[in-house]
Amino acid sequence: MMRRSARSRGKNTFCQANIIAAKSPQRGSVTSTVMDSLCRASRARSGRCIGAILHYPRYNPLMVRTVIGIDLGGTKIAAGRYDTKTWQCEAEASASTHAKKGFPYVLETMSGLIKRLKTPTTTSIGIGVPGLVTRPKGTILKLPNVPGAEGMTPAHATVALGLPVTFENDANCFTLAESVVGAGKGQSVVVGITLGTGVGGGIVIDGKIFTGAHGYAAEIGHMLLRPGETPYPMEHPRGDAEEFLSGTAMGKRCEAAKKPEEYLEGAVCSFLQPQVFEEVAWLCTSLTHLLDPSIIIFGGSAGRALGPHLTTIEKELQKWMLPGVPLPALAIAAREDAGILGAAMIAH
């Protein structure tokens, strides 16, 4: 039985309790790391070790289970609750990120979304983040656009959000969902490329995310395209894919465009479009020679805009491939919610 006691001494009111961990075959139990983090935080405020109660739903193999997936974007946090048997979305919610306010503020926003979505059947949370996640610990190394996330562990987030949390790179989440129920369903080696504010990537082999030795595999946006060069002036150019193919980069390459759709459609940026198609083909050439993928799937706002041009990109790809090497299929993401759904899948 969980017990809470509160005492008031002058101005200080505190709640002292044990951490109760509900065990299940899927999630294990809350570790001592959680209690340590709680104690450190409470000592900093009051000089005392104050615990908290974490109540998880009891595992029942006959009960319908749901999980919450969260896609953390630079401007929007999108969340959904999914049935783990059908992967149908039961409910969704979103909120502005306000990334500059820092990761603690972002966690509070996520907590509000979770309270709106959570039901008694909800067992865990998956969060896709736009940055690096270490393996095997699952700790956030860095989120370039969200300060204060460095070193955030799943245990800390579990305390803040009230259910077991798993972090994963957002492009890995996107690729996983597309490989299971999207454009890559039934394919053995799936590569995902997201072209948006930045360029992200994911690799799924036989239904499992390939993270590499340390968790940083598939950072496709940082693969070199033209080493040391960029198509616009910048300090310390790397010449990687992100500096050429992100929506941000395309805006710099065609400043006359009034909206992102004009980068790859219409006359305003017509000079740019053949260059982009060629550069995407170069990127796919390197990925194909390295991984021999069954399919390469494009997502993100700029990635989806490639849809009408996939035949052109495929012809360009044929020019650069070694003779006789099979070409991967090229496709646009089938799921609008791939990022959220993939995050839910890694929670399960």
Q: Supply the DSSP string of 39-74, one letter for each residue.
A: HHHHHHHHSS--------PPP-TTS--EEEEEEE-S
User: With 50 as the cut, is the pLDDT of residue 25 above it?
Assistant: no
147-155 CB contacts, 8 Å cutoff, 24+ apart: 147/99, 147/100, 147/102, 147/103, 148/102, 148/103, 148/104, 149/103, 149/106, 152/103, 153/33, 153/37, 155/30, 155/31, 155/33, 155/34, 155/37
Q: Among 24-33, 78-87, 225-234, which stretch is predicted with the lowest mean pLDDT? A: 24-33
Q: Is 73 in the same domain as 36? A: no
User: With 50 as the cut, is the pLDDT of residue 1 above it?
Assistant: no
Q: Is 93 in the same domain as 141? A: yes
Average pLDDT of the chain, as a whole number: 86
Residue 339 counted as domain residue: no
Q: Compute the average pLDDT of residues 315-324.
A: 96
- pLDDT for the residue numbered 197: 87
From residue 192, give the alpha-carbon distance in Å to each of 14, 195, 283, 317, 329: 48, 10, 12, 17, 12
Residue 343 counted as domain residue: no
Q: Compute the average pLDDT of residues 328-341.
A: 98
Q: Is 106 in the same domain as 11? A: no
Q: Is 195 in the same domain as 165? A: no
CATH of residue 229: 3.30.420.40
Q: Is 235 in the same domain as 306? A: yes
Task: Judge contact between 225 and 239, C-beta under 8 A.
Answer: yes
Number of domains into which the chain is organized: 3
Q: Is 276 in the same domain as 162? A: no
pLDDT-derived band at 18, boundaries 50, 70, 90: very low
Q: What percent of the chain has pLDDT over 90?
A: 78
- pLDDT for the residue numbered 260: 83
Instruction: Kindly report whether the peptide bond that precedes residue 260 is cis, defined as omega within 30 degrees of 0.
Output: no
Q: Is 193 in the same domain as 321? A: yes
Residue 337 counted as domain residue: no
User: With 90 as the cut, is the pLDDT of residue 46 above it?
Assistant: no
Question: pLDDT higher for 1 or 182?
Answer: 182
Residue 10 counted as domain residue: yes
Q: Is 237 in the same domain as 316? A: yes
- pLDDT for the residue numbered 91: 97
Rounded to 5 degrees, what are φ and ψ at 54? -110, 115
Q: Is 152 in the same domain as 227? A: no
Residue 347 counted as domain residue: no
Cα(75)–Cα(206) distance, rounded to whole angstroms?
A: 33
Q: Is 146 in the same domain as 201? A: no
Reported pTM: 0.82
Residue 341 counted as domain residue: no
Q: Is 156 in the same domain as 208? A: no
User: With 50 as the cut, is the pLDDT of residue 157 above it?
Assistant: yes
Q: Residue 25 burial (CB < 10 Å; 0-12/13-18/19+)?
A: exposed
- pLDDT for the residue numbered 70: 98
Residue 346 counted as domain residue: no
- pLDDT for the residue numbered 67: 98
Q: Is 86 in the same domain as 217? A: no
- Please give the residue range of the domain that contains residue 160: 66-172
What are the tens digits of pLDDT across the range 276-303? 999 999 999 999 999 999 999 999 999 9
- pLDDT for the residue numbered 145: 87
Residue 52 carries which side chain, given as an amino acid letter?
A
Q: Compute the average pLDDT of residues 182-189.
A: 98
- pLDDT for the residue numbered 16: 28
Residue 264 counted as domain residue: yes
